[in-house]
Structure 1
Amino acid sequence: MASSVWPLLFALSLSAGVATALLYPQYLEQIQLDANVTLGLACFFLGLSCSATKVVDLFGTPLGLGNLAFSSFNGTFVWPALGLAATALAVQSGQVPFAVAVGLALLAACPVGGPSNAVNVHNAGGALEASVLLCAVSTPAALITFPYAFHHFVLFLLDQPLVADPSTPGTDAAAAEAELRAHLKAAAGAAGGTVTPAVMVAIRNHALFAAALPIAAGVALSAAVLPQRLAARAHRYGPMAAASMIVLTCVPKTAANAAAVAAAGPQVVGAVAALHLAALVLGYLIPAGVGSPARTCRTSAFQTSMRNPALGLMLAAALFGSSPHFPLVAAPCIISIFIQNTLGAWSALASGLRAKSGPPEHVVSDTGVLLSPRAMHTQSKESILKQPTFRRLSNPPTLKDYDKED
């Protein structure tokens, strides 16, 4: 009963907390939590939730390899493409300040999401182990991918024609945009690129202490230290504990930056929400279009849609922390924090309920024969080999075969 109710409680508490943070941020100002600590605890609990056998099966079964392949490909390429398209539309339309376009480029460069992504994949009935493994790999990889992507997105922005900032009347609009472009040009041409060494250190600490090391510690503890009964309890209750850490991360962060959200306005909130929704739909449809199982489609959908905007906030604070442009530059990443978490929580809840109420899923072999429910449940190469020989059952011997044996 608890396993079916807590996703609803997670979505409700997250939505209520975000609404309070946006409408009455003064009531949450006293909550000061280090995001690296809360996210690290969430990753540790998710590591405890993982089964070592299923982690190994990710590389030994077609279903596991499909989960990894689609999730990593879509998460790496679909989101940056959508984000860059949104950035180009924002610049060319002239309906939003240029600083917001810079923030959209920053959000587009953010890597695949962290523990909140894995929790929603679990609630949706996807492959938890695949999501946790990709989190452990993609977050440290952001040391390379994030600076590279944002640097080239900045160069793309600088190539766009000058568009007056509609939020500033008169000639001050063009002057404000020109000043911001000059700031970006100086940062892009500086030694070491757009991302400063201090930001690289912050990204490294985030990758190690908020993702990779806690996940590794949780998996090792669950597989090698805990007794079987305690490990089973950890597998069951670990996602719940991780979800509570996500609420404690998202709500205070939203409250602390509510002023930036108000400065950006509902138009930017809608744009970021549309971006996440489009990524969620495409992440599902791409594997579904080639006949992948629903489990793979659900995993890919959340891996594509959910990002790690905390890294974007780090870079925005480093580049524009003392600039009047900072609230608008940081706004897309701040909005993404509460949009992707609330959208993901409710989407995962709906997907999980649909998966439980629908017919059982089956894996199809290379010859088109359905494998047994046990093979689908364990996803283990060894267990699949122990099933009755489906090739012999699907192609029963004929009378001619018996004649040959005689």
Structure 2
Amino acid sequence: MRSRFIGCVLGASIASFTGAALAADAVSDGVVKIGILNDLSGIYSDFTGRGSAVAAQIAIDEMGGKVLGAPIELVAADHQNKPDIAANLAREWFDQGKVDMIADFPTSSTALAVMEIAKQKNRVTMLSAGVAMAAINEKCSALNAQWMVNTYALAAGTAKALLKTGRKSWYFVTADYTFGHSLEKDASAVVEAEGGKVLGVSRHPFPGGDFSSFMLKAQGSGAQVIALANAGSDTINAVKQAAEYGIGRSDKQVIAPLLTYITDVKSLGLAKAQDMYLTEAFYWDYDDRSRAFAEKYFAKMKRMPSASQAAVYSAALNYLKAIQAAGTDEAGAVMAKLRTMTIDDAVIRNGHLRADGALVHDMLLLQVKKPAESKRDWDFYNVRAVLKGEDVFPKPSDACPLNAKG
């Protein structure tokens, strides 16, 4: 009787071990490795940086630290906003580090550089901070997802809202590189399509320092909207220096940052940022699910997550779920599975991943609260509208060969 019991236990143990071994065999190198590649020390470190890695780790923890019986590992590095450094790190990670997926990529030039290498190496990229339209147009890849937003979606929400208030004349202050040009182009297209007019453009070096001459020129144009096609500390410094000259402080002229994170508003303070309109994909205080994720993040970082950091959480979580559902970590199979999934989590709502890599989902039109309206720290926004993905995101472009013709 005892021998029979031992035999049953031994048989069950062998079956369990065999099942785990078979599951691990479905995973290349016996481990799933996620890389976070971003700005750890520079202009974009506040809304990406270490916080992005923390957000990814929360997703890994929610999966129990394993997928298909294999452990999940996380690595992170600083690309210094330079495409050559990003490319070299990616090659090293793919070849020696056996990294399966890389996410984040503030500075679109770094995202586009790594996307090309990932295609060659059959690995996945998920652009949670890279927003240039090229990633879903002429540079699109079946192994890439632009997981949060693109410049068109950002521009469309804010521009349409301001145009509806009668603000028809616009002037752009633009970061002079791929991202800034893309944001300016997309916002200009929306302005002109809705009957508005672009009066002029000033392009500043990236990263910038002194914005006073650009902002004074914008003020002198008489434009009703001074649109900032930049991000991070460039946006913060432009708004601060505009405030020093009283620019954008009247009903006749407003400042509209086209990519603004909650960390930017924190740095500016509500007194300077109040009443600004912006479009975001995530706000921590939107509902119970967003607050639950934000509380986990706050416990580790003592601050609320930016939309970009929240996007890393969502990207990592859904990537791992796709591996589980596909039964393999092979890049093509995982991305094919992702494209069949409805993406609905604490960050992304009503999302689906298109063939070109665009994740289409609901967005939020937000307005910065006045200081007297804020009840506690990080209570910064009034949600003015939920913008449906199909109304905000651009239509699939013929520039991407992955989009079906006809």
Higher relative contact order (Cα pairs below 8 Å, separated by 6+ residues): 1
More strand by share: 2
Give the structure with higher Rg (CA).
1
Between Structure 1 and Structure 2, the one with more helix by share is 1
How high is the TM-score relative to the length of structure 2? 0.28
Give TM-score scaled by structure 1 length. Answer: 0.28
